[in-house]
Structure 1
Amino acid sequence: MSMRLPDTEHTTRPWRIHEIAHDFRIEDVWAYRTPGAGPDDFPAMLAALRSGGGVHDNPTVVQFLFDVRWKLGAVLGWEKPEHGLAGRVRSLCDRLPSDLRQDTAGGAEPDTPFTLVYELPDECALELANKTVHTVCHLGWVPTGDGEYELRMAALVKTNGVLGRVYMAAIKPFRYLIVYPALTRKWERAWLNRDRHTLGA
C-alpha cells in the first residue's frame, strides 16, 4: 500500500524540480510500493503507468468524481485556454535550464490532462493549469534501503486566489478517502503488470 510521507522526504532530495518550481507549495508526498524494482527501472515504471490507462481507467466512483469535476469545470469555464498554460500562467517548460530542455517537453501526456515538463532517468514532472490552480505532479525513483526502489509522487500547487484555495480545500477529503486509494491500487498494479504492458505496446 502507499504511504503518505512528510514534506521533507521531497524537499531534502536533490530533485531538479526544486530549481524550477521553487514558488509552488507542497500539497502531498506519497510513496508507492514497487517490489523488486532496481535503480534503472524508472523508465519501465513510467511506461507501465502510461500503458495502464489514464484518467479513463478508474473504479466507477473515482471516474464519477472525475466526470463531475470536468463537467463542472466546463460549465464554469475553468478549462478555457486563456486560463491554462500560456494563458493565465506560463508553462514551467519556459523555466527549464538548457540541460533539461527536451523535444518532448510541453507535450500532452496520453489520457491525462497533464503536460510533460521534463523526464530524466530518476524523475519527471508534469503540469496542469486552469482557473483554480497551476499544479505539478512530480514522480521520483527512490531507494528504499533494502536494495530496492519505489515510486514517489509529490503534488505541488500554486492556487489562483480565493477560488483556488476554496477549490483545494473542497477536494481534499475526496483525494484522501477516494482518489488516492484508487490511485494506489492502479499504480501498484501497473508496476506488477509492467511486463504485460511492455509486451502489448
Structure 2
Amino acid sequence: MLLMLTASPINAEVFLRFGVYTSDKPTEMVRKFRPVLNALEHQLTTVLDEPVRIRLKVAASYEQGIEDLVSGKVDFARMGPASYVISKQRNPELQLLAMESKKGSRTFFGIICVHEQSPLQTVGELKGRTFAFGDKHSTIGRYLSQHLLSAEGIRADDLAGYEYLDRHDRVGAAVGAGQFDAGSLKESTFRKLQKKGPFPGWRIISEPPVLFSDKGNPDHCTHTLYR
C-alpha cells in the first residue's frame, strides 16, 4: 500500500482518494476494500477530530492504477511489489505506507496450475506448452512465474504460445476451460475459483511463496493510517 497525500486546511473535511487496480474483477475489488475504507474513515475521523471521506477508485488495468497514483489522481493505493517498484521509479516522492497482513502474516502465495486432467506434473514439463500470465505488471501473474519458468530453462520461445490475461481470475478460468495448458495466479484466487467452479478443476504444480517485510516512512495522516 502506498501513500501520496496533499495538505488540507485544519478542521476542514478531508477527502481522500484510494486506488486499486483490477487484479480480480471490479466487483470483487469493491467487496474487499469498501469495508476497509469505511473503517479507515471512522478511525481517521476520530483521531484527527475532523470528518474524513475516502473515495474508492478502481482502475481498469495495472498500468492505469500505477498512473493514477504517480500522477496524483489518487492519494494512496494498494498494489503489489512489482507495481510499487514501477511507481517509485516514475515518482520517487512516493512513500511506502503499510504492508497487508492476514492473521499477523505478511506472506501470500502465488501458484502455477494446470487442469486437473492434465498429464503435466512439474514446471519443467511446460516446454512446448501454452501459458496464461496475468497482467504485465503483476508480481505473481508475470514476474514470479517467469522466474520459475526461466529457472527450468524455459524461455518465451520455448512455449507453444502465451498471453497476458490481465486478471488472476481470468487466468484460472482460462486454464480450467482448457484454453491454456498452465497459468499463474494468486493462491487465494485459485482457492475461490475451486469452490465456485463451474469448471472440472485445477491442480497446482508449483507453490512459490512471496515474502514481505514491514518497512515504511509515514507522517501526519500517514502516521494515523500506519496504525
TM-score bracket relative to the smaller structure: under 0.3
Higher relative contact order (CA 8 A, sep 6+): 1
TM-score normalized with structure 1 length:
0.23
